[in-house]
Amino acid sequence: MAEPKSMEVTTAVTGTAAETGDLVRVENLRKHFPVQTGFLASILNRGHIPAVKAVDGVSFTIRRGEVFGLAGESGSGKSTVGRLVLRLLEPTDGRVIFDGIDLSSLEPEEMRRLRSRMQVVFQDPLASLNPRMTVGQTIEHPAKIHMTDLSAAERRGRVMGILSAVGMNPPESFYDLYPHQISGGQRQRIVLARALITRPELIVADEPIAMADVSVRALLLDLMMKLKEEFDLTYLFITHDLATAKYVCDRIAVMYLGKMCEIGPLKEVYELPAHPYTRALLEAVPVPDPRHRRNEAMPAGEIPNAINPPSGCRFHPRCPIARENCSVDEPLLRELRPEHYVACHYAEELLK
Amino acid sequence: MTEIKEHPPEIPAEDTSWEAEIQRVGFIRRILMARRWYGADWWFVSISAVMVVAFIVVALFPGLFAPYSPDALVGPRFLAPGQHPEIPVLIVPKDSSINTLKDMAAPEGQPRPSIAVVQGVPTAGALNEQAQSIDNQTKNEPEGLRLRPRIERFTSLEETLQAVIDGTVQAAVVQSTEFDRVSAQFPTLRAGASITGETATAGGFILGTNDIGQDVLSRLLWGTRVAIIIGFSASIVALVLGVPLGLLAGFIGGSFDRLLSLVMDSLYAFPGLILAIAITAVLGPSILNVIVAISVLYIPTYYRIVRGQTLSVKEEIYVEAAQSIGARSLEILRLYIFPNVIPSVAIIFSVNVADAILTGAGLSFLGLGLPPTIADWGIDLARGQRFIQTAWWMITFPGLAIMLIVLAFSMMGEGLTEIFNPKLRER
Amino acid sequence: MPEDILYSVRNLTVEYQTRAGAVRAVDDVSLDIRRGEILGLVGESGCGKSTLGKALMRLHTGPASITGGELWFDGRDLMKLPLNEMPDVRGAEIGMVFQDPMTSLNPIQRILDHLTETIHTHEPETSDAAARIRAEELAERLGIRRERLSEYPHQMSGGMRQRVMISLALALRTKLLIADEPTTSLDVIVEAKFLDLLQELQKEFGLTILLITHNIGVVAEVADRVAVMYAAKMAEVGDVNDVFGDSKHPYTQGLLKSVPNIRLGENELYKMEGAPPSLLHPPSGCRFHPRCPFVMDVCHTQEPAFEPVVGDHLASCLLYQKAGVKQESLNG
């Protein structure tokens, strides 16, 4: 029976909050988006509505103070997980536990207040900023909502402080500007400033540097790491760029088509990937060195759609080491080596 | 809090976008600089803005511009534009004490005065009319004077005037323009007052008079007030009602949205003028009812546009970001959605005013809506319809006015759209 | 023009008319593309590489236009060709693949029709049956199964659509394929397979490919030679091993250091100071001088020439151009 086994595994992977000092614990998270079908079609299907299974049973923990990388290609569900952790989306199933608090148990007002402790940085800085609000107003807004004991002058002072902290100096010169009046890299700094003003504990960064120029990316990453030290932050770092993830993450998790493939310490996963998909992903990353060109073949086929994912292990149609049972039994996350979890029946083979 | 010292802050690449440049100069310079940026669109907007302002100024102070009151019967009927009105004046010898017709009234029993007129010219009729009305007036007065002149007809103007000189008659009544023409030949004669009391404006009536003697120009200028009031009021009311409904429907969604949209779509699908006719027919003629009828017509327009914009703005990342920082729904609506939706409304407002004015004119053209006492272009159009062959100016000038005002507002709205929606702008 | 050079761009200048004045997106750039090679053209956004790519097919319209230079393609100067003859060259001899295939394909036309229409446009005497057979063979070669040819673009994935774009470009024995950021919108595994495909095309069809991208890694994986652009000018050109292993231009050096390398164990990324300059008011002298760690006084006033430093390895940097003062390699 799959069910009890998965519960065991979950507890093993995640542990209890008291034991491990986790900031975030995700248990069996599922998010299915129903596909729009016509009235007639839904009758014909007898009430069964097809759904995009964006996240389909994902469990992991994020420890305080770490940079937890969540990697995957399009359709992996990583961005959806990010939004579920922040409860910007309601899960179809499963729980998100933040600092011991089950998010689904909260009243809307309580959830709203909790938001001061967890913030988000999205991919597109221009789209993340209200074009009709100045830089100052944008950053000040969370403070207005959550830090009600501050006077207007004190709030303004905090905003100036944060602007300074993200490298926008002198802060006064930026306060009254609008997003379209500053450059792309600066905008992402403003987004960071807005995220930081309420002194959150967790920041979910969804592809935070993907849209920045190559020369600006390093600056932004550097800034984020410095801020992590200064503000004592924990990051959920969502990215498709494994090369960049290597520079910042402490642990990394790899997702494929709504499922978790592998979780482990960064160095170990990069040097000894246990899941065939992780292996392929790492091989595929272009290396800026012509002496080390890729000579391994890539998995056949493409990412299937998430409405009707392959049975058993989702990666089996493309997997170079797939066996017969891979299309029948879904592999669950298991601890292959200390702290290194993988969802593959034959991971040991890969490590030889 | 340590500063990040090792890496200097990002030097912002000199923002050469024209938006940034414009921020650096003052407002007036901004408008003039804009000519370089927008090219033809700038001219479009500027010319139409001037026209719109002109119309509004006229609407606010029609008395300053109109030579006459719109209701006053100030001239002869059907006077063509620029045509001098024919005013019959009393011609008397220079030394005569007589000035007006009334001066010629005499007590009962006295011999009747004789007045010369040119044969075949309708002045005799006017003379008779005036004499009779003065007679009726004076005979009831204490002195009991009577005025029953004897009218002598002469074949030509010169003979008529000669008769005054000869003393055959006490006075003559001829057209003032005619007298002016020959006055040099008759230095001993002078013109008295007009027998009808009318006065001539220099150059006559610029746009002519209508079928009952009202000045077309004055009615045109006073009509601007009505048009602007109806256009703006109806648009404002529609905006005030349509925008919040659209915002709420787009934001809340669900069955509230579906129900409201159903109502609005039904209203929208209804042919506009017919709906307005129905409403005014029910409510009765008054300017307020016209405003109500037209605004009902345009509420769905604002609703639809705002709802559509709200739906798309709702999906923007910055709205999601607002949710993530813990803002309440009303706050999100007020600070994040509304300001981003409103620019589209501002632009269609102008075109909407044009449309409303047109609808209003249409209503009064059909005789609905406004009471006939108010000077209005639509009513003038209807009146002028009958006389399109004989007095073309009665319908042409109100028609031109409607066309111009609709053009002005539409042009301004379209020009503003081009400027504020760069995606639509041709590169 | 030597036999082995397919396309020789000489002193090309492309100007954009903007509201703030004329901007030179490409400023006096010269570049040779050799037959059968994959040439990688790299640079940050705004450096002019995409503009250069489009200029090679004289695709610019409206506010952008080529204001100087020669385009010697396969023995003839395309600049001398009347504009209405360019469509015969485009598609038939030079093909282009863009970043977002979805917007390049007609959403209401089946894939097969895309292909046959292209064939018919350039070779109208081909029969329907012949065109269809050619299309199917081509698609098969590019990994598109026959059954999928009757689908519409939206039914295919991004990687597939890129293959369709290439097949369109190849339908007519193209000599040069210009790929402008072809993999930017693709996932990394699909990207890897696409790059494999490009190399196959190079081997099997003898296709010459100009690969325009901001992704240095992609260029390192497949290119034979590399051209680096900065602020509308050519900074460096050479064999891929030379440009990566022994880069001459300080910009290239900085760029290479700031790109994350998944194989390396380093924990720090190099950060380049400053930002690319505005093309409306570019810096005087060498355009890179405000950010250059090796800047000299002369760099403020004199523009460096684009000259060979060592053999076929060219760079526009005054460090190598002072008479009698030859600097050692600065890669250390």
Tell me the per-residue pLDDT of B138-186, one tens digit each, with 9 for 90 and over: 878 887 778 788 888 888 888 888 888 888 888 888 877 777 788 788 8
Q: For C258, which of A215, A284, A285 is closest by C-beta distance?
A: A215
Q: Cα separation of C230 and C45, whole Å?
A: 9
Rounded CA-CA distance B29/A179 in Å is: 23
Q: What is the pLDDT of residue A2?
A: 40
Highest mean pLDDT of the ranges B36-50, B335-349, B413-427: B335-349
Picking from B308, B256, B417, the residue whose alpha carbon sits closest to that of residue B352 is: B417
Lowest-pLDDT range, A32-46, B19-33, B370-384?
B19-33
Q: What pLDDT sits at residue B37?
A: 60
User: What pTM was computed for the model?
Assistant: 0.79
Of A69-78, A279-288, B310-319, C263-272, the range with the lowest mean pLDDT is C263-272
Residues of B in contact with C277 (CB under 8 A): 13
Interface test with A, best of B7, B10, B345 (most A CBs within 10 A): B10
User: What is the distance between the alpha carbons of residues B403 and B394, in angstroms, rounded to a whole number?
Assistant: 15
pLDDT grade for B24, boundaries at 50, 70 and 90: low
pLDDT digits (tens, 9 = 90+) for A305-347: 888 999 999 999 999 999 999 999 999 999 999 999 999 999 9
- Determine whether the interchain pair C62/B21 forms a contact, defined as Cβ–Cβ distance below 8 Å: no
Q: Is the pLDDT of residue C332 over 60?
A: no
- C-alpha torsion A234→A236→A237→A239, nearest 10: 180
Task: Give the pLDDT mean for C152-176.
Answer: 84
| Cα separation values, B103 from B107, B166, C320, Å | 11, 20, 115
List the structure tokens of B373: 């006492």
Whether residue B324 and residue A146 make contact (CB cut-off 8 A), yes or no, is no
CB environment A214-242: b (16+ within 10 A), e (fewer): bbbbbbbbbbbbbbbeebebbbbbbbbbb
- Per-residue pLDDT at C159 exceeds 90: no
**Does position A6 have pLDDT exceeding 50, yes or no?**
no
Whether C325 shows a pLDDT value over 50: the answer reads no
Q: What is the pLDDT of residue B146?
A: 82
Alpha helices for chain C (secondary structure H): 49-56, 86-89, 101-104, 111-122, 128-141, 158-170, 188-205, 216-222, 240-245, 250-258
- Mean pLDDT of all residues in C80-107: 84
Pick from B9, B327, B335: which is nearest to A167 by CB? B9
Checking DSSP bridges between strand B171-175 and strand B114-118, what pairing results, if any? parallel
CA dihedral angle for residue B356, residue B361, residue B363, residue B364, rounded to 10 degrees: 140
Average pLDDT, chain B: 81
> Phi and psi (nearest 5°) for A305?
-80, 155
What's the pLDDT tens digit per position in B102-152?
Answer: 777 777 777 888 888 888 777 777 778 778 888 888 878 887 778 788 888
Residue C281's pLDDT is 86
Confidence of residue C21 (pLDDT cuts 50, 70, 90): confident
Q: Model confidence over B212-234: pLDDT tens digits?
A: 878 888 889 999 999 999 999 99
Residue of A nearest to B13 (CA): A183
- pLDDT score for B6: 32
The 8-class DSSP code of residue A34 comes to: E
pLDDT of residue B244: 94
Count CB-CB contacts under 10 A for residue C298: 14
Q: How far is CA A139 from the centre of its chain?
A: 23
Q: Kindly tell me the sign of the dihedral angle through the C-alpha atoms of C83, C87, C89, C94.
A: positive
The β-bridge partners of C177 are C95, C209
Condensed to tens digits (0 to 9), the pLDDT of residues A278-311 reads 999 999 999 999 999 998 889 988 888 888 999 9
Q: Does residue A35 carry a pLDDT above 90?
A: no
B-to-C residue pairs, Cβ atoms closer than 8 angstroms: 26
User: Which among A186, A187, A215 is the top mutation candidate for probing chain C, defined by the most C β-carbons within 10 Å of its own β-carbon?
Assistant: A215
* Of the candidates B207, B211, B223, the residue with the CA atom closest to the CA atom of residue B397: B207
CA dihedral B378, B381, B386, B389 (to 10 degrees): -170
Neighbours of B274 (CB within 10 A): 9
Alpha-carbon distance of B298 to C243, in angstroms, equals 66
Asked if the Cβ–Cβ distance from A186 to B10 is below 8 Å, we say yes
Is the distance from CB of A222 to CB of C271 less than 8 angstroms?
yes
Domain residue limits, chain B: 38-69+210-420, 88-194
How high is the pLDDT of residue C131? 87
If DSSP codes are grouped into helix, strand and coil, which group holds residue A319?
A: coil
What does the alpha-carbon distance between residue C249 and residue C235 come to, in Å, rounded to a whole number? 7
DSSP assignment of B174-236: EEHHHHHHHGGG-TTEEEEEESS---PPTTS-TT-B-TTS-BHHHHHHHHHHHHHHHHHHHHH
ipTM of the complex: 0.86
Chain center to CA of C167? 18
Chains linked to C by 3 or more Cβ pairs within 8 Å: A, B
Of all residues in chain C, what percent carry a pLDDT higher than 90? Answer: 39
d(CA A311, CA A309): 6
pLDDT band at C324 (very low <50, low <70, confident <90, very high): very low
Q: Which of C162, C257, C263, C278 to mutate to test the interface with A (most CBs of A within 10 A)?
A: C263
Q: Is the predicted pLDDT of residue A270 greater than 90, yes or no? A: yes
Residue B15 pLDDT > 60 = no
A168: chain B residues, CB-CB within 8 Å = 9
Chain C partners within 8 Å of A293 (Cβ):
220-222
pLDDT tier for residue B200 given thresholds of 50, 70 and 90: low
| Selection from B80, B178, B119 nearest residue B389 by Cα | B80
Residue of A nearest to B342 (CA): A132
pLDDT at C184: 86
Chain B hits for A161, CB-CB cut-off 8 Å, are 1
Q: Which residues contact B28 (CB under 8 A, 6 or more apart)?
A: none
| CA distance linking residue C287 with residue B7, whole number of Å | 22
Q: Is C248 exposed, middle or buried (0-12, 13-18, 19+ CB in 10 A)?
A: buried
d(CA B298, nearest CA chain A) in Å: 27
Given a cut of 80, is residue A20 above it in pLDDT? no
Give residues 36 to 55 of B whose Cβ lies within 8 Å of C.
Answer: 36-37
Does the domain at residues B38-69+210-420 carry the CATH identifier 1.10.3720.10? yes
- Reading across the β-sheet that carries C225-230, which strands appear in turn? C94-97, C176-180, C208-213, C38-42, C225-230, C233-239, C313-315, C307-310
Higher pLDDT, B319 or B421: B319
Q: Would you call the peptide bond into A170 cis, given omega within 30 degrees of 0 as the criterion?
A: yes
Question: Is pLDDT at B18 greater than 90 in this prediction?
Answer: no
Is residue B409's pLDDT more than 60? yes
Q: What span, in angstroms and rounded, lies between the C-alpha atoms of B191 and B183?
A: 9
Residue C208's contacts (CB-CB under 8 Å, 6 or more residues apart) are C6, C7, C33, C34, C35, C36, C37, C38, C39, C175, C176, C177, C202
pLDDT band at C275 (very low <50, low <70, confident <90, very high): confident
Q: What pLDDT score was predicted for residue B266?
A: 92
The DSSP 8-state label assigned to residue C187 in this structure reads -
Q: For B246-301, what is each residue's pLDDT tens digit?
A: 999 999 988 999 999 999 999 999 888 888 888 888 888 888 889 999 999 999 99
Q: Model confidence at B420, in pLDDT bands (50, 70, 90)?
A: low
DSSP A36: P
CATH of region B88-194: 3.40.190.10
Instruction: State the residue for tokens 């002194």.
Output: A199
Q: Choose between C259 and B9: higher pLDDT.
A: C259
Under DSSP, the state recorded for B333 is: I
Taking the C-alpha atoms of residue A143 and residue A162, their distance in angstroms, rounded to an integer, is: 11
* Interface residues of chain C, partner chain A, Cβ below 8 Å: 44-45, 157, 159-160, 187-193, 195-196, 214-223, 240-241, 244-245, 254-256, 258-263, 267-272, 275-276
Residue A219 has its nearest CB partner, among B2, B7, B316, at B7
Instruction: Please answer yes or no on whether C19 and B13 come within 8 Å at the CB atom.
Output: no
The pLDDT, as a whole number, for residue B25 is 53
pLDDT of residue B310: 95
Residue C276 has what pLDDT?
81
What six digits make up the tokens of B80?
A: 């063509």
Model pLDDT, residue C1: 66
For residue C263, is pLDDT > 90? no
Q: What is the pLDDT of residue C17?
A: 86
Q: Residues of chain A with pLDDT > 90: what percent?
A: 75
Give pLDDT tens digits for B25-70: 555 666 666 666 666 777 878 888 899 999 999 889 888 888 888 8
Distances (CA, A) of A66 to A21, A69, B288, B332, B346: 11, 9, 68, 32, 49
Contact A202, A170 (CB under 8 A): no
Report the number of secondary-structure helices (H) and strands (E) in chain B.
Answer: 16, 7
Minimum-distance CB partner of C262 among A221, A287, A303: A287
Chains with 3+ CB–CB pairs under 8 A to A are B, C
Please answer yes or no on whether A287 and C187 come within 8 Å at the CB atom: no
Is the per-residue pLDDT at A274 higher than 80?
yes
Q: Flag whether pLDDT at A137 surpasses 90.
A: yes
What are the DSSP E strand ranges found in chain C?
A: 5-18, 21-34, 38-42, 64-73, 76-77, 94-97, 176-180, 208-213, 225-230, 233-239, 307-310, 313-315
Quote the mean pLDDT of chain A.
89
Q: Chain A, 229-268: which have a CB under 8 Å from a chain C CB?
A: 240-244, 246-247
Q: Is B151 helix (H, G, I), strand (E, B) or coil?
A: strand
The C-alpha atoms of residue A79 and residue A187 are separated, in whole angstroms, by: 21
Indicate if the pLDDT at residue A74 is higher than 90. no
C-alpha–C-alpha distance, residues C329 and C248, integer Å: 7
